Amino acid sequence: MSKFNFHRVYFIGIGGIGMSALARYFTFLGKPVAGYDKTSSPLTLELEDLRIDIHYKDELTLIPEPFLNAEDTLVVYTPAVPKDLKEWIYFRDKGFTVKKRSEVLGIITNDTFCFAVAGTHGKTTTSSILAHLLKETGTPLTAFLGGISEDFNSNFVWEGNEFSVVEADEFDRSFLQLRPDVACITSMDADHLDIYGDEEALKKSFRDFAANLKPNGKLFVRNGLPVQGITYGIDDNSDYCIKNIKIEHGTYIFDLGTPETVLKGVKFNKPGRHNLLNGLVAFAMAIQAGPPLDRLAEALESFKGVRRRFSYKIKADNLIFIDDYAHHPTEIDAVFDAIKEMHPDTKILTVFQPHLYSRTRDFLNDFAKSLSRFDSILLLDIYPAREKPIPGVSSQQLLKLIQNPMKKLVAKQDLAKEIKAQKPQVLVTMGAGDIGLEVESLKQALEYEN
């Protein structure tokens, strides 16, 4: 791994999922780490357990004194941090070395054999499967994940430093800082239009990412995407292809074809065709590290999952409760299709929290169409994250467009009561905001009721 000539590392926005993985990395290397975030969260509490000094007010006096030395402190920030933040302005104006998270990730991984997972959907699940496959087959790797892997119980994995696994994030064109040896593109749906302006600019950015591979690098592309690469798909003519799918006791069983051979009776336990595709491309990428195919197949079957990615919270005869990070219409459709495939002929209640005013505005009609497919919809207010409100954009506006009479705008404190009143067969909570913090209390309330 590339060495940084800094004794300390300070993070602005340390509670972000990608930032916290980097904070763990530098702590693992033995460097003092501190940081700021707007709010406390389970992630920041875990970092504090590692003796990382974190504060939650934008006050310069709260920065630990050793980190005010510009000579030996590296400052890492996330692009989501507002530019009027006092700490950001201070470090920028006082001559500190200030780098984006993506720049630091690029430097760390540049002298490793780097696996990079790109795409508007599926990055976290695919990279988590890939890290699990490599670890289970004895590959010395470091992984920076965009979610909490249930196999590692962390978003940071250290099993050696010869190989690295990273998510190549298209937000703010961050993935252009990476120079992968092996990469994939899972999807290129319009998103982050507040950054790109239009879908074509987003697609160009993915093509620029593909052009960034190291010489003789390999790019895996989901069949049908407008980028040249080694293709993967389901029931088609892709280079890597899944065929003859069966479902037994909630497990997919299928044949997996590579350019050289066909593996029969491969098993995978995460529901949804989108997750099958994620597993397939992770498998194809892992082959490039050279492990035996039969051991890779065993590892694929043992993959547990990622927290908040089609996570079963309750699996009882009278109630299925699933939690998912879905925050884009395409992801909502994938969750709905997966539920219908695994739990046919059931009534589904969804609780959805829109994420970002700009995304809600840009995909308003698509969100309404996707949510209308569910039997019943409970809608929360928009989670703003880094954004200020946009006039005329609200959950109430989205609610009006949903073509389903079984719909209601609710407050978080009323969720349990509303859900119990409806007695759903399947409940799914979705969103990338703080809805995830409600899941455990909902689970307890519903288990008590049952």
Instruction: For residues 335 and 401, state if they share a domain.
Output: yes
And the tokens for 152? 């590692």
The answer to whether residue 2 sits within a structural domain is no
Place of tokens 């895996």: 220
DSSP character at residue 306: B
CATH number of the domain enclosing 389? 3.90.190.20
CA neighbor of 60 nearest in space, from 87, 26, 89, 22: 87
What is the Cα 86 distance to its own chain's centre?
29
User: Does 122 count as an annotated binding residue?
Assistant: yes
The reply to whether 260 and 175 lie within a common domain is yes
DSSP assignments along 164-190, one per residue: EEEEE--GGGGGGG---SEEEE----S
Q: What is the CATH number of the domain that holds 23?
A: 3.40.50.720
Domain boundary among 302, 334, 365: 302
Q: 329-351 as b/e, with b when 16 or more CB fall inside 10 Å?
A: bbbbbbbbebbeebbeeeebbbb
Same domain, yes or no: 84 and 135: no
355 and 406 belong to one structural domain:
yes
Q: Is 119 annotated as a binding residue?
A: yes
In whole angstroms, give the CA distance from residue 109 to residue 217: 15
Same domain, 47 and 138: no
Residue with tokens 């195919």: 293
Q: Do 131 and 278 have their domain in common?
A: yes
Tell me: is residue 121 an annotated ligand-binding position.
Answer: yes
Examine residue 289 and state whether it is found in any structural domain, yes or no.
yes
Q: Note whether residue 335 is domain-resident.
A: yes
83: annotated binding-site residue?
no
Q: How far, CA to CA in Å, does 283 sit from each of 152, 186, 306, 384?
A: 18, 13, 17, 36
pLDDT at res. 193: 55
Q: Does the annotation place 360 within a ligand binding site?
A: no
Query: What is the C-alpha to C-alpha distance for residues 175 and 62, in angstroms, rounded to an integer?
Result: 32
**Residue 439 in contact with residue 323, Cβ under 8 Å?**
yes
What's the domain range around 291? 112-302
CATH at residue 165: 3.40.1190.10
Query: 126 and 161: one domain?
Result: yes
In a domain, 107, yes or no: no
Give me the amino acid identity at 266.
Answer: V
Same-domain check for residues 54 and 134: no
Residue 143 DSSP SS3: strand
For each of the chain's 450 residues, which pLDDT tens digit applies? 345 689 999 999 999 999 999 999 999 999 999 999 998 988 999 999 999 999 999 999 999 999 999 999 999 998 878 889 999 999 999 999 999 998 999 999 998 999 999 998 899 999 999 999 999 999 999 999 999 999 999 999 999 999 999 999 877 777 888 999 999 999 987 665 566 567 788 888 899 999 999 999 999 999 999 999 999 999 999 999 999 999 998 899 999 999 999 999 999 999 999 999 999 999 999 999 999 999 999 999 999 999 989 999 999 989 999 999 999 999 999 999 999 999 999 999 999 999 999 999 999 999 999 999 999 999 999 999 878 999 999 999 999 999 999 999 999 999 999 999 999 999 999 999 999 999 999 999 998 665
Give the strand pairing for 113-118 and 182-185: parallel
For residues 283 and 289, is the Cβ–Cβ distance under 8 A?
A: no
Write down which residue in 257, 273, 302 finishes a domain: 302
Choosing from 302, 320, 347, the residue where a domain stops is 302
Rg (CA), the chain: 22
Query: Is 142 strand, coil or helix?
Result: strand
**291 token code pair:** 């492990």
The answer to the question of residue 1 being in a domain is no
In terms of Cα–Cα distance, which of 215, 212, 216, 125 is closest to 165? 125
Evaluate whether 257 touches 243 at the Cβ level (below 8 Å).
Answer: yes
**Do 210 and 243 fall into the same domain?**
yes
- DSSP state, 62? G
Same domain, 188 and 284: yes
Given phi > 0 = left and psi -120 to 50 = alpha, else beta, which region is 197? left
Is the domain of 144 the same as that of 284?
Answer: yes
Inside any domain, residue 106:
no
How many domains would you assign to the chain? Answer: 3
One domain, residues 180 and 261: yes
Q: Is 226 a member of any domain?
A: yes
146 is in an annotated binding site: no
Tell whether 398 is covered by a domain.
yes
| Residue 355 assigned to a binding site | no
